Each structure stands twice: as structure tokens, then as C-alpha cells.
A = this chain, B = another copy of it.
Amino acid sequence: MFEEIFENVRRNAPLIHNITNYVTVNDCANMLLACGASPIMADDQEDALEITAICGGLNINIGTLNRRTIPAMFAAGKRANELGHPVVLDPVGAGASTLRTETALGLLKEVRFTVIRGNVSEIKTLALGSGNTKGVDANVADRVTEENLSGAIEFAKGFARRTGAVIAVTGAIDIVTDGERAFCIRNGRPEMSAITGTGCQLSALTAAFAAAGPDCPLEAAAAAVCAMGLCGEIAYERMTGLDGNSSYRNYIIDAMYRLTPAELERRANYEVR
């Protein structure tokens, strides 16, 4: 199934509209191109409305959130809903500031998201209505481990049922669930967290996969999460003793460019619970 969805990305080259932060936007664009999709960025409200209409999916990311672009997020999200396009939310830093938390909660009320992807602290903030995330990384106390995995799955399932969205909680173990089934994914490398924007790239990728698999958002999101983690593994194998996080960033995007749908199917490492 992952193979088929990824083949669709490569075949259909969905155009993905990103309203995203300026820190990692270039990597998101290159990751979208690497997977076979096509990126466009537009964050002026008027422009965003039209651009979203010509796209196949929308990715809203609240990193470097500011008053100028928030209206564009709401407007484009609603337009994408009207058009039946998949919409992904990446609540970067939700819980770390009132503006980010309130904006993310407001978006949840007014836009129907196909997938919400964040770290566990961000997702907890959205589910509980408040949080105290320490920046853009998950709080240590929140982290999903083998010990607390069952509880984390139930929590994610509950939030998925309440929102109607596929919830993707990513970290050492990733959980992707639609409220009924949960993919527990063990692809990836811890070194990926030493690169800025691997989460942002994954959210952009998820929008592309969701656009290519409109009838199976759960599988599409799980495939994107597996693909990103797998590229982290492949890229890690390529690292030399001189390479660090900057080369690793390039290698991950390169790995996505080279990844075949068959290899994704074969090396995806998950169980369904």
C-alpha cells in the first residue's frame, strides 16, 4: 500500500501549497521536489487563497508565526476544505507561547485537518488546550518510550477521534492513528533531531502523500513518516567521520530523491495496533 501511494506521488507530482516558517522553508521545498511533488509558497492572504486553489494539498506550519500570515492560514485552510484538498497542520512550538498555542487551537476549530503532525509535547498541547513546551523540541518527560507506548497510543487515538484528523506523533517511536488503528513506526535515527526542520520537512512530505492518497489518509501519513525515517537511516549509512548535521541534512533529501516505492514498502518498519 505504501508503495502504491508513493508511486502516485511520483506519477501525479502534486502541487503542495506551504504556508510555513522561513527557517526551514528551503529544505521543505527541496524535500517536496525530492519525493516527486512540487512546492509553492504563498503567505499573503489574497495570494494564498488563489494559490491554494490551484494546488492539490496544503501544509500549514506555525514556526516563526506572525500576525501578518495568520489570516492567510485560516483563509487558505477553509478554502482547501471547501475544495476537498488534504490539509496538514504542523503546530511548531505550540505550548511554547500563547500566540502559537492560540493560533493552533483556533485553526483546529475553523479548519478540518487531514493530518496533524507534531512532537508529543505539541500534540499534547493541542489535545489539552494548553501546554508548556520548552521550545520546538519535545519535553523529555513527554517522550514516547516502549514503556509508555500503550498509553500514548490511546491518547493519540482519542485525539484523532475528537478531531477527525489523522494524528501523527513523531519522535523515537512514531504513532500515526485515525482513532481506530495506530501505526507504530520505528524507522528513523536519533541524529535527525540535530538537523533543523526534519519535522517541517516531514509535514510537507505528508501533505504530498495525502494528496496522492486522498482515500487513505491514515496510510498516506504513515507512509510519509516511514519514508522520512527510512531516508534518515539510508543517509546515516552514508555518513563519514567528517560529516555532521549539515551534510546529513543534504543526504536525507538526497535519499528521498533516490528512494523507490518498492524500497519504501520493503524497509518500512511498523506494526499496527
Residues of A within 8 A of B (CB): 15, 21-27, 29-30, 33-34, 38-44, 46-47, 50-51, 54-55, 63-68, 93, 96-100, 134-137, 194-197, 238, 241-247, 249-258
> Which residue of B has the minimal Cβ distance to A29?
B196
Q: Determine whether the beta carbon of B135 is less than 8 Å from that of A96.
A: no
Residues of B within 8 A of A135 (CB): 15, 38, 40, 51, 54-55
Residues of B within 8 A of A26 (CB): 23-24, 26-27, 196-197
Q: Determine whether the beta carbon of B250 is less than 8 Å from that of A254.
A: no
The listed residue with most B CB atoms (<10 A of its CB), out of A54, A196, A197, A242, is A196
Q: Determine whether the beta carbon of B136 is less than 8 Å from that of A40.
A: yes
Q: Determine whether the beta carbon of A23 is less than 8 Å from that of B25.
A: yes
Q: Determine whether the beta carbon of B66 is less than 8 Å from that of A47.
A: yes
Residues of B within 8 A of A250 (CB): 246-247, 250
Known contacts A244-B253, A245-B30: A41-B65 contact under CB 8 Å: no
